[in-house]
Structure 1
Amino acid sequence: MVKSMLCPLLHPPLASAGLQPTGLTQAQSDRCDKLVEVADTYNRKIEVEQRQLESLEREVELAQAQVLAARRDVGGHSGTHALLTAPVKAIRALESRHDAAQRRFNEHIAANRDLKQQIDAATRRQAGMEQVRAQLEREVAALASELLSVHEVARVAAEARQEAAAQVAALKVAEDAERAAFEAEVRELAACQAADERLLQAQAARLTKVLEGAEAAEEYEEAAGASPRSGGASSPASPVPPGPGLRGAGRGR
């Protein structure tokens, strides 16, 4: 009877049942191993208690058989009472031991159930941690891809900046060359302009002298032509020699 009551409550060892979860950290795995060991210990204790209960049942049955045999062998109320006193006490003691063993068995079953619940909770926590880790890995992969894109953009920007700096340097060199050529041309034009101005000034001075000589010659000719008509016996006026401007003008012509 006791064996039929205990059989539905017994559990196989947790290590052999394959209840240890996978993918745990080292600390969680160690804790699960310890819990499984404790559960196996309780299972072994339960098996020992079961064997003790079976032994007690056999002892009770044997005692009952002895009592019945004694009742058959001994006649009378006093003799039967005397013979039954000791077996009844033994049966009560065995029943007390049976009740204590039953309580311990129930305590072990409850502890085993608590351990199983703790293992299930640890498994659920590990599953949640695995989901969080997978999410973090996806986020890290996305950040790494974004970082690679940023590095590529930075590399392209650096190349464009270097190319722009090279173009600016080339433009500066070309501008300096053009400025130097322009300044040289300006200096050359200024020199040509100064030479032209000096030439024009010299030509203007020569023309001025020529004009002055021509005017002096005309005045001399007018004076020479007017002196015969002015007086009869008066001696002709001595001619005025042309000035240096006139001689220069004649040589110039």
Structure 2
Amino acid sequence: MSVTIEVRDFIATVTLNRPQAMNAIDPETAMELHQAWNDISVRRDVRVGILTGAGERAFCTGADLKKTMPPQESFAELHFGPRADIPPVSMLATQKPMIAAINGFALGGGLELAMLCDIRIASDTAVFGLPEVCIGSIPAGGGTQRIVRAVGQSDAMRMLLTGERLPASEALRIGLVSQVVAPADLMPTAHSIASRIAANAPLAVVAVKQLARLGMEQPLAVALEMEQQSFGLLRNSQDRIEGRLAFAEKRAPVFQGR
């Protein structure tokens, strides 16, 4: 398996398992990533996911260039015709929170994959870059759009136009990651964050992610109205009532996702 998934305590740990290829994404890996995201979305025993790479060298170095040569079909045929191919990794989506635990090189599509996640933490040995222009291409897995939203225009344009690689300390400075830790502390830190998320009310967590993601694309007035509607949907949920009862009774709440 190019991608493994392990579920424990409401946390799904997804591991890119091609360390011999720096965890690069070939067609089989892309298909398995879509399956992993689908599993996370539909399983009631999963409330949060962690994505990482096997080995110590790489989180993911993007597309496996040896197995992703241009197809024979025209772009129009592939784009508008019947879709028999694997959807691009850039279309991965789940309503549940995802944490990227970046343990090494996160280059090209690997960084794009990390930017699909809601929270990014990195080991101090991690390296980041979007080097596509250096090989005559562009970051077409969402990179040109997500990097600007992640770090701001000037730093984003520097990465996009130069293709230069950034160390973890610089990624932290520009806000590409929220925390940098020693390699041995990476997965414990990711699991600590995931555990805190998993302990919260699942419906509220999903609502917060949806509002934060969609709200960025809306005028403030529209986003605030969306927020009020979500609040109304959750107002009488069993979990919201349980949260208030637990507070009054000075105990930890037991949320059921209802």
Normalising TM by the smaller chain, what interval?
Answer: under 0.3
TM-score, normalised to structure 2's length?
0.17
Q: Which has the larger radius of gyration?
A: 1
Is the helix fraction higher in 1 or 2? 1
Is the strand fraction higher in 1 or 2? 2
